[in-house]
Structure 1
Amino acid sequence: MTLLSVDDLAMQYGSSQALFGVSFDVAPGEVVALMGRNGMGKTTTIHAICRMVPAMSGAITFDGQDLLRLPSFRAARLGLGLVPEGRRCFAPLTVEENLIASARPGHWDLARIARLFPRLEERRDQKAASLSGGEQQMLAIARALMTNPRLLLLDEATEGLAPVVRQEIWAAIATLKRDSGLAIVVVDKALKELNKIADRAVIIARGQSVWTGRPADLTADLADRYLGV
């Protein structure tokens, strides 16, 4: 069974084409990593799935429904939970207010968020602007979970964070994989960590999907060709 299907997706910003043919799928409960160098189209692909940018051609379906026919808010209501690059928490609101603002009925509530991220429970009355970068990233993930999605999209969830905080984030993602049954798409470059949690990886280069397989099967030559600096 396929939950999300992206088929030969192409899109452009103005006169500049950004995607030339991205294809992959995600099954329920599966973790799929989108990998590649900076500027290759990973974030653009996430934005297209969430209907934040229009597609030129191709297809995106979620649970059999054509996402390209929907505005972004209706796509989100189908069960897409986005953790955007740069976090984008509501700075003037407290941690609890950020979570309540996005809440929809379902499995995830304040109590479950507190168990996943105890640090947020400790800071529930603090404004988001006063949190560290790592705490803001935890809040961004928690806020997406409070929408009770069926597919969680994590765009560079560990970028720019201290090593100890990155490990906390990876541990939380591993817990979600093990206990929640969520399908997850994660954009990241950390091959060591992705090897532990991702069922499959898709490499995007110059706006095209060029390799799909298990992270453990990614050879050194391929990693150097598509992921190296």
Structure 2
Amino acid sequence: MTDFLPGLGPWLVCLAAVILGTAIQRLTGQGYGMVAAPVVALAAPKYLPGSVLLVGLCVGAGAFWANRSAVVVQDLPWGFAGRAFGAAIAAWIAARVVGTPALPLVIGIVVWIAVLLSVAGPALPIRGRTLFAAGTTAGIMGTLTGIGAPPMALLYASVEARRSAATQNVFFAFGMTVSIGALAFVGLIGARHVIFAAALAPSVPLTIWAVRPLAVRVARRSIRPVALGLAAVAATVLILRGLG
């Protein structure tokens, strides 16, 4: 199993990142990828991006199910179409960077883009063309790195918290599905990604269950600075390592 799982230390580091990212994703509709992807890139890079995406599918599906009644259904078709289009573009890019020293650098840059979008991104109206554009951007970012939430978060920044989180989690779960399919199509999902994801995935439903009491008590804005700070630190380390 040594070819399919990292050592105990890296596994525990990745597990902690998945637990924290899952909790933030459940409460806010974004955050899993920004926490998990850079940490996995530092601790167990050979499992990128497949394992992050496979666990992300569980995260998105579980977080959506917990708030499914609040989903804004009419927003989904355009966002779904954009996400699928972006995933196809990203699969072509991924075939050229996955497994090379460029991937951690790409992840670090994408994480910083995601952080900047989350902090200073412009407010955008929710329309068909903005949903498609955000979906396409999210598809590219999410397929390459597992970080696809920030473009959609720009659209839902002013939407009531529960509806925002629920709808973003639908986009997130769908995005993970099409990203996994796109990477599998180009041969970038293998047994080691599946086995490592299976070793991490049991923490997802437990975390979603554990944070349920916080969903009605914790303000979305109070969590974001923690998630963004952790993501920015990890991304900076990745970029410096990639350039070193």
Shared fold per TM-score greater than 0.5:
no
TM superposition score normalised by structure 1 = 0.32
Larger Rg: 1
TM superposition score normalised by structure 2 = 0.31
Q: Which has the higher strand share?
A: 1
Higher relative contact order (CA 8 A, sep 6+): 2
Q: Which has the higher helix share?
A: 2
